[in-house]
């Protein structure tokens, strides 16, 4: 396990290195930082002096190394707009985004597994066919449309749930604030979570269904029938466990992707998370904030994937996390 984590850490460093190069190049090419800093009334000579002072005339490598050195100390630059360290600004919005991702994940897991399994076991049933039909529609409808539809029906017409903002948040041991801890927060979470889940849920139902159907055709399931086992045991122990292996792998990547999908959802619902902040930062050409966002999302991605790999190793006995003996 320790060896696995160390190996994973080395991979993480390599990936973060690539991400940092990419984000730094973006920063370097997103317009002229001086325009953001000094406006238009400053003379060209002064600009040139300032450029030298800020090191903007140095070669790319020198600039990158300076950036990386600071980044390693947790300094990703100062947001032009907030006049605060970019990392600090991003992290202050992290809890809101994670609330949303967590809510959506919860919805996805609790619906995709039973629906997917049902569709695999009873493919001819009308309910299974309805689910499959709806999932095709679900995949094809874009997020912002789902969001607007949900707002119109449940927030405006029925008035069941609030349409924007995060509501009240509760504090967890004073370390972390979350909308899951208050009733108002939960109400605010419902529509955005459903929206965010709506992209992945149909995909997961289909994935679980097709994986399960394949497993049900396998020799070991046939052998389980030949052993005279109870159908429930065959379906939920023999077949389901094998079905979940590829689903876990894909699921991990998708949860990471969902962090990125929050940009749309958060914008429509005015959810004060990282995605919303990122879009604002792009509008304001707040490059340090954009870079910080990319790096934080990259780190989340790596973290989620590592956790998923560990879970996968625990479920699948043919994978040894300890490494080769």
Partner 1 sequence: MALLQVNDLEVSFDMRSGSVKALQDINFSIERGDRVGIVGESGAGKSVLGFSILNLISRPGSITGGNVLFEDRDLANLSAKELRDIRGNRISMIFQDPMMTLNPVLTIGTQMIECLQAHRKINKNDAKKIAIQKLQQVYIPSPETRLDQYPHELSGGMRQRIVIAIGLLMDPEIIIADEPTTALDVTIQAEIMELILELCERNHVALIMITHDLGVISQVTNRLFVMYSGRIIEQGPTKEIINDAQHPYTQGLINALPQMTIRGERLQQIPGSMPSLNTRITGCVFHPRCEHAENTCTRTHPKYTTSGGCKVACHMVEKMKSQPLLSE
What residues make contact with partner 1 under the rule CB under 8 A?
Answer: 217-220, 222-231, 233, 237-238, 241-242, 245, 315-318
Closest approach, Cβ 256 to partner 1, in A, equals 25
Query: 274 with 97: CB under 8 angstroms?
Result: yes
Closest approach, Cβ 319 to partner 1, in A, equals 10
Q: Which residues contact 8 (CB under 8 A, 6 or more apart)?
A: 306, 309
C-alpha 178/C-alpha 170 separation (Å) is: 5
Closest approach, Cβ 231 to partner 1, in A, equals 7
Complex with partner 1: residue 159 or 228, whichever CB lies closer: 228
Cα Rg of the chain (Å, integer): 24
Complex with partner 1: residue 73 or 124, whichever CB lies closer: 124
Complex with partner 1: residue 161 or 321, whichever CB lies closer: 321
Query: What DSSP assignment string belongs to 229-288?
Result: --HHHIIIIIIHHHHHHHHHHHHHHHHHHHHHHHHHHHHHHT--SHHHHHHHHHHTT-HH
Complex with partner 1: residue 166 or 238, whichever CB lies closer: 238
Closest approach, Cβ 213 to partner 1, in A, equals 11
Closest CA to 196 of 253, 130, 263: 263
C-alpha 32/C-alpha 46 separation (Å) is: 15
Closest CA to 205 of 100, 284, 129, 310: 129
Complex with partner 1: residue 129 or 222, whichever CB lies closer: 222
φ and ψ at residue 104, rounded to 5 degrees: -65, -40
Closest approach, Cβ 206 to partner 1, in A, equals 21
Complex with partner 1: residue 171 or 217, whichever CB lies closer: 217
Complex with partner 1: residue 84 or 222, whichever CB lies closer: 222
Complex with partner 1: residue 190 or 245, whichever CB lies closer: 245
Closest approach, Cβ 200 to partner 1, in A, equals 25
Complex with partner 1: residue 182 or 213, whichever CB lies closer: 213
Q: Distance of CA 279 to CAs 43, 153, 189, 268, 275, Å? A: 32, 26, 20, 11, 6
Closest approach, Cβ 114 to partner 1, in A, equals 20
Closest approach, Cβ 217 to partner 1, in A, equals 7
C-alpha 130/C-alpha 156 separation (Å) is: 28
Residue with tokens 């949900």: 150
Query: 217 with 139: CB under 8 angstroms?
Result: no
- State the CB neighbour count (10 A cutoff) for residue 67: 21
Closest approach, Cβ 119 to partner 1, in A, equals 16
3-state SS of 63-101? HHHHHHHHHHCCCCCECCCCCCEHHHHHHHHHHHHHHHH
């Amino acid at each position: 396990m320790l060896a696995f984590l160390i190996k994973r850490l080395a991979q993480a460093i390599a990936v973060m290195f690539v991400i940092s190069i990419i984000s730094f190049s973006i920063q370097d090419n997103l317009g002229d930082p001086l325009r953001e800093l000094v406006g238009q009334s400053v003379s060209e000579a002064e600009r040139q002096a300032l450029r030298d002072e800020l090191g903007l005339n140095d070669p790319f490598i020198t600039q990158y190394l300076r950036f990386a050195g600071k980044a390693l100390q947790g300094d990703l630059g100062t947001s032009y707009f907030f006049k605060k360290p970019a990392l600090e600004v991003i992290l202050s919005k992290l809890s809101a985004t994670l609330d949303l991702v967590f809510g959506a994940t919860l919805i996805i897991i609790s619906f995709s597994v039973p629906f997917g399994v049902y569709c695999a076991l009873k493919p001819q049933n009308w309910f299974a066919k309805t689910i499959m039909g709806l999932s095709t529609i679900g995949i094809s409808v874009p997020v912002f449309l789902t969001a607007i539809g949900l707002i119109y029906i449940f927030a405006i017409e029925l008035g069941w749930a609030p349409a924007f903002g995060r509501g009240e948040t509760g504090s967890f041991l004073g370390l972390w604030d979350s909308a899951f801890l208050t009733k108002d927060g939960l109400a605010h979470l419902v529509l955005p979570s459903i929206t965010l889940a709506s992209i992945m849920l149909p995909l997961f139902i289909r994935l679980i269904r097709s994986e399960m159907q394949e497993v049900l055709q396998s020799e070991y399931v046939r052998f389980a029938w030949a052993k005279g086992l109870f159908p429930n045991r065959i379906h939920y122990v023999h077949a389901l466990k094998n079905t979940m292996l590829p689903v876990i792998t894909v699921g991990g990547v998708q949860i990471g992707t969902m962090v990125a999908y929050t940009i749309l959802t958060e914008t429509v619902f005015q959810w004060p998370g990282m995605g919303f902040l990122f879009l604002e930062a792009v509008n304001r050409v707040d490059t340090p904030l954009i870079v910080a966002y990319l790096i934080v999302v990259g780190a989340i991605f790596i973290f989620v994937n590592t956790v998923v790999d560990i879970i996968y190793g625990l479920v699948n006995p043919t994978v040894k996390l300890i490494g080769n003996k």
